[in-house]
Amino acid sequence: MKDCVLELENVSKRFGDFTAVNDVSLRIPRGSIYGFLGQNGAGKTTTIRMIFDIIKPSSGRITLLGAPSALDVRSRIGYLPEEKGLYKAMTAAACITYFATLKGLSRKVAKQRARALLERYGLDKFADAKIQALSKGMGQKVQVLCAIAHEPEFVVLDEPFSGLDPVNQQVLEELIRDLAAKGSTVLFSTHVMQHAERLCDHLLLIAKGRKIFDGTVAGAKATMPRRVLISTASNIDALGGLDGVAEIKPIGESPTNSGAKDWEIRLRGQTDAQAILEKCFQSGIVLRRFDHTEPSLHDAFVALVGAETATGERA
């Protein structure tokens, strides 16, 4: 891939008889926000540790910023690990400064960056407060700033939203967008689909160590059948003759519409849901409910992971 920041080719990691990551390949283009999604235990953190050469793959090849090892380009990358921790006796500004100097910045420039970042993300009043005196959310924001103060080309944030309240989650989303706007490439792992849906240009879904989807958010949603939910006491046989209807599934007695039944109507391709509404009107089907919503990334994730689990169980 042209201008590819990170490339994994058929990477696997085995611990004895257990395969944590199984033949994963991916390519991340420069300047993108790339989501690495999966349930807890899916293999995300193991993959990230291999990317940073913390552990070696059992097989396969990893190239980061054109180098065979992250150690060769350590000053150009930033990393927020899943197991977060800071020097609690240091102040927020001192902590960020220290980590920035480890990446090659002069102490003067590092101090300036630390103060600017703390002000930009609403922590300037706590710049001289010790880490141990900060709330969990503040401490986590400081640790993110420690990972990016040297303005890395490539940033990996492993479960960065974990434990943050909604306000701080929004601040972190803003920070990720800021990084991409300045030219950094961001890879973040999460098991919360809403963040990925709002942020990602591209995403990879992993389940039981296997890649199950690699593409855009729209592409992931497109794997889900589109559907309409209706409630009616009428006979709906007339809907079965529509070309755009792939399947009609009974759900059961409607809990909110007495005497009516709920139905799920799955549509083919790009069939307009309004065709269902029009057919109901023409056929005298009296609707108590008509609900058409596009599938979310969460819906697609659950369906894809469920299909992978079912495949694994059959195997």
67-126 pLDDT, tens digit per residue, is: 999 999 999 999 998 877 788 899 999 999 999 999 999 999 999 999 999 999 989 999
Give the residue with greater pLDDT, 268 vs 145: 145
Mean per-residue pLDDT, 4-15: 96
Q: What are the tokens at 164?
A: 């943050």
Is the pLDDT at 166 greater than 80? The verdict is yes
For residue 159, the model assigns a pLDDT of 87
Q: What mean pLDDT is reported for the chain?
A: 89
Report residue 314's pLDDT band, with 50, 70 and 90 as the boundaries. very low
Is pTM beyond 0.85 here? Answer: no
Q: Is the pLDDT score of 157 beyond 70?
A: yes
By percentage, how much of the chain surpasses pLDDT 90? 59
pLDDT of residue 19: 95
Does pLDDT of 315 surpass 50? no
pLDDT in tens, 285-307: 999 999 987 778 888 888 887 75
| Per-residue pLDDT at 3 exceeds 90 | no
Domains assigned to the chain: 4-221 (3.40.50.300), 225-291 (3.30.70.260)
pLDDT surpasses 50 at 310: no
DSSP-derived 3-state class of residue 264 = strand
Which residues, 6 or more positions from 241, have their beta carbon under 8 angstroms from its beta carbon?
A: none
CA distance readout (Å), 231 to 131, 254, 284, 287, 295: 55, 7, 14, 6, 19
Q: What is the pLDDT of residues 214-265, one digit of tens each?
A: 999 888 888 877 889 999 999 999 998 888 888 899 999 998 888 999 998 9
State the number of CA atoms in the 13 A half-sphere of 181 facing the CB.
Answer: 7
pLDDT of residue 127: 94
Q: How many CB atoms lie within 10 A of CB 50?
A: 24
Kindly state the average pLDDT of the residues 275-279. Answer: 90
